[in-house]
Each structure stands twice: as C-alpha cells, then as structure tokens.
Amino acid sequence: MTEITSLPLRSEIPVEQTWDLASVYPTPADWDAACAELTAQLPALAAFRGRLAEGPATLLALLSPMQEAGVLLGKILIYASNGASVDTGDQTAAARAGQARTLMANFAAATAFFDPELMAVGLDQIDAWIAQTPELAFFSHYVDRLRLRQAHVRSGEVEEVLALTGDPFSGPFNVYGMLNNADMVFRPAVAADETELEVGQASIGALVTHPDRAVRRSAWESYADSYLAFRNTHAAAFTAGVKQNVFNARVRGYASSLHASLESNYIPVEVFHNLIAVFKKHLPTWHRYWRLRKRALGLDALGVYDIKAPLAGSKPVVPFEQAVEWIAEGMAPLGQAYVDVLRRGCLEERWVDRARNRGKREGAYSSGSHGTHPFILMSYQDDLFSLSTLAHELGHSLHSYHTRRTQPFIYGRYGLFLAEVASNFNQAMVRDYLFRTQTERAFQIGLIEEAMSNYHRYFFIMPTLAQFELEAHSRAERGAPLSADILTGITADLFAEGYGGEVDFDQPRIGITWAQFGHMYMNFYVYQYATGISAAHALAQPILAGDQAAAGRYLDFLKSGGSRYPLETLQQAGVDMTTPEPVEAAFGVLAGLVDRLETLLE
C-alpha cells in the first residue's frame, strides 16, 4: 500500500502559512526578559495590600501598575501558549507554556487582596470616591460587577490561596492537551483502493468530509478508537476537572457548578435551561435532516461518518486568499475600516497560522491580548468548511481587536457568552453573501453542507455535550461515581435521543465523543455556542436588510468589551437572550436550510 497523505513536520512549513509570534517578542530571550520584568513587578503590587482604605489616590496608584502588569502577563501567555499549540511535541515550548501559567498564578496571588479590600472599604464609599475623582470614572462598572458577586468573594487570604490553585488546577486540562495532541497515535484511514491516509488532529476534518466513504468510515473509526484506547486516562483527567469545578463552586458559595459558571458571568441559569428545552423540542428537525442525507447518499444506513459526506459531485476548492476575499466581501456592510483590518491581518500581518503539520493541536481558536494583534490557529483545507472556520475565528479576532483598542485592560475580556456571538455573526454574514453571489447548483449544495456542518457542531453536538456536562457535574455534586464507562454511557444515551434512530448507532465510538473536546475542561462553556449562533443570526438579519443603524449598533457591541453586562450589551445591539425566541428563530433558519437542500437535491 502507498501512503498518499502525510502531515509534514513543523520545521517544514513555509513561513507564510504561520503566524508571526515575533511580533510579540522577537526572540525567546526577549520573552525571558519579559518574565523577569513581570516577576520584579509583583512585590510592588502586593505591597498595596492593606492600603486601599487610604483613599482614592491610593486606589489610582494601584490601578495603573496593576493594569500594566496585566498587559505584560497577557503578552507572556500568548507567546508561550501559541508557541506550544503549533507543535505539541516541542518540549521547550511546552516548558515555556508551563512557566507562563505559573506566572499567571503568581500575578493572581499578588493581587488577590484587591476585591476583598474594596469590599472592606465599602462599595458605597468606593462609589463616592469615583464620583469625586474623574480619573476613576472608568472604574464604576467594575464596582457594579463586584457588588453583584460580593457574596461569593472570600477573604484576602482565601482569595490568595484560590489564586495559587490556578497553576496546579490546570493539570487536568494540560494532561488532556498533551495526551490528545502529542501522545495519541491514530492508525491510517484506508481508501477503497487500499491507499492509506494519515489521521491526525490537523487532518481529521478533511478526512470525515472525503468523498470516499471508506476513507470517512476508517478515519472516524480510527479517531474514536484511539480515544477509546485511552478512555480511562481521559476519564481520570476529566473527572478531576469536574471535581475542581465543584470545589470552586462550594468554596465560593454557589448552589452548583452550573450556577458558579453562569452567575459569575452575570448570566441567569434560566438561559441554559431555556436552550436545552428548545433544543430538545426541535430534535425532529435534525431527524428529518438525517433522513434526507441518507436518501441523497443512497444509503441503507447513515453512519456518523456520513454526516459531512459531500452530496454534490465535487467539493468547491477555496484557496486561502480566495477565502479572505469572500469573507471581506461578506463583512462589507460593517464598513471599509472593518474590512481593511481583516484583510491586513490575514494577508500582511500574519495573524493566521493555517498550516497542517504533525503535532499541531486540534481545532481552531483566536487568541491575543492587550499589546498584541489577534492570532488565529487553524488547519486550512482549501474548502468551504475551512472558509467558514476562518470567518468564525476572524469574528473573534475583530471583536478582540475593537475591544482592546477601545477599552482599558480591566474591560478587555468580554466573556464567553458574548464571544460566540461575534464569531457566528461573521459566518452568517459570509454565508449570506455566498448564497447570493455563487449561484451554481453544486456550490449552493456545498454551502448548505457547510452551514449544516456548522449547525451540527454548534446546534447539535454542543447542546448534547452541555447536557452531558450537567449530568457529570450533578453526579459529582451528589457524590455519585464517575468512570470511563459511566461517562461513555451518559454520552451514548444523549446522542441516541439526538439521532432518533435515524443514524447507525455505534455505541462505544459515539459514546466516547465526550473525550474529544477540550471544551469539557471549561466549566459549562459549550452551551454558549448555541446561544451565540442564535444571537448572531438575530443581529445579522437587520444588517443584511440594509439597516445602517443596526450595523452601527453591532460595531458598538464589538467595542463594548466587558464594560457592560453581557445581556445588556446584546440588548443594546438588538437581541434579548433572556427569552427563548432567538433560539427558536435560529431553529427556523436551520429548518429553512433543510428545505432549501431538499429542493436542490430534487
């Protein structure tokens, strides 16, 4: 047999396919110097402990160096974590990432006294200082947020201990990352003509969309089987992460891990439960789609590996530069300035690490900090799926770009609930543009396949995993056992309901899906993909209809960062996520795509 697809080593990748980490620090020695600089700053920050009651001048004197140190820490973290992500086998890069996490914990410990001392002074007194000190006006929303969560803030000593746990508590996720991206080995996929294709985190996305069903099936089985082979290690790491979430929730006095995750981000838990209820109500839409796919592919049974099989004769080929151009055209309603930044980042400033290389971590993400431009990691495949992923990550990146240019450091983080709105918004805008301009039937079918693949991930996989996450945490909270078999069984039962008997059910391979997502280590993250896609479509619709005021409100949303509460920010942009209506409307979009596909296939 001849191996026809092999992932290159990182050292073999052309520089134009990589991101420019030298824009953060030109050399590792410069990074080392930044670490030493930050370490030297921490005692001066810690020296403010016990002094905030002195008055507004002291508060101002702390806020400036604390934010400057935060900016420095952000650059240190980005350089280290991004360097490790592109080659998880690089031990020097891995050590650098570990060193950065330790620095982050040390910074948190040095400033852990801040919130408890503000509370000890009295938040009404802090408000009075702000009113009489114009330089402190920007600090008002921070105090409002602290007032809402003050019941869950502990003493300075306890907060310092909790901050110091940040480094060792990163262990489960780090174990997962090394196992998942560096140590796990996948057997090759085998085509119908018996040629072999390498399976890896950077290639699995292309393999499960391959026109050869033998490739799709063997790639999917190989991928799942490697997770099954390490299921006990994955379960140990995941269970440790769940127990850490439970520990943190109890220490801070939250009713549950779910409450700790949502309430600390100023989201009522009803938003989570509304989403799950609407998702379960609309499962028949997914069942209809599975039936349509099976009929279109001429199959007796639809496998999970057929969910992204191409339905047209050929898949559109979309080189990276063409993807950037189409994305820019799709985002044109937001104005030339937005588009210019997007093009410059992709084509000149090397924001995007798009290479497919051995050892590159799974998936895609956008990162960056105050003091850096955004960075995007992905494995670009020259197809519509990669175009959509690039549009998604550029949504995150342009959100961060506008926030960091507008907001001070303390409002530079806008929270996960808002993050997935901007990313899905870009996909909705670009998809609409392509539907209007690329009218050839095969391309239209390809667009719908991409859209359905996106919805499948965000509006099917993620809500299913959110239910799994809730059950796993509930078990931990009541002292029930968790093991690889239990976790796999929970997942399989949830997917059985979701597939509704329309998909050939390989219980162990479908059940191990829980182990394939690093998001499971980010306490109740995944539900926000579904709320994000719902809010994104609601915000895109008036802009696509030509409402310039809506475009202006959206740009204001991007610039707001964390300077307002998430639901308030969305309401000012034009969508109310406290009700189920946006999720219902998004399922309407999904049903419309199924209708459109059925018409094209007929």
Q: Which residues are catalytic?
A: 393
Whether the CB-CB separation of 445 and 597 falls below 8 Å is answered with: yes
Q: Where are the alpha helices (DSSP H) in 111-170?
A: 114-121, 123-132, 140-149, 156-164, 166-169
The beta strand positions in 472-530, using DSSP E, are: none
568: left (phi over 0), alpha (psi -120 to 50) or beta: alpha
CA distance 360 to 378: 9
Tokens of 595: 């209708």
DSSP string, 210-243: -S-HHHHHHHHHHHHHHHHHTHHHHHHHHHHHHH
CA distance 378 to 393: 9
Contacting residues for 360 by C-beta, under 8 A, at least 6 apart: 10, 85, 86, 87, 88, 181, 200, 201, 202, 377, 379
3-class DSSP assignment, residue 454: helix
CA distance 456 to 450: 10
Contacting residues for 395 by C-beta, under 8 A, at least 6 apart: 422, 423, 424, 425, 426, 427
DSSP string, 348-369: TS--EE----TTPPSS-EEE--
3-class DSSP assignment, residue 574: coil
Helix axes 527-544, 581-601, angle to 10 degrees: 80
- C-alpha count within 13 angstroms, C-beta hemisphere, residue 309: 25
Tokens of 279: 């998702």
Instruction: Determine how β-strand 375-377 pairs with β-strand 365-367.
Output: antiparallel
Instruction: Determine how β-strand 189-190 pairs with β-strand 196-197.
Output: antiparallel
Count Cβ neighbours within 10 Å for each residue of 135-161 and write b for 16 or more, e otherwise.
ebeebeebbebbeeeeebbbebeebbe
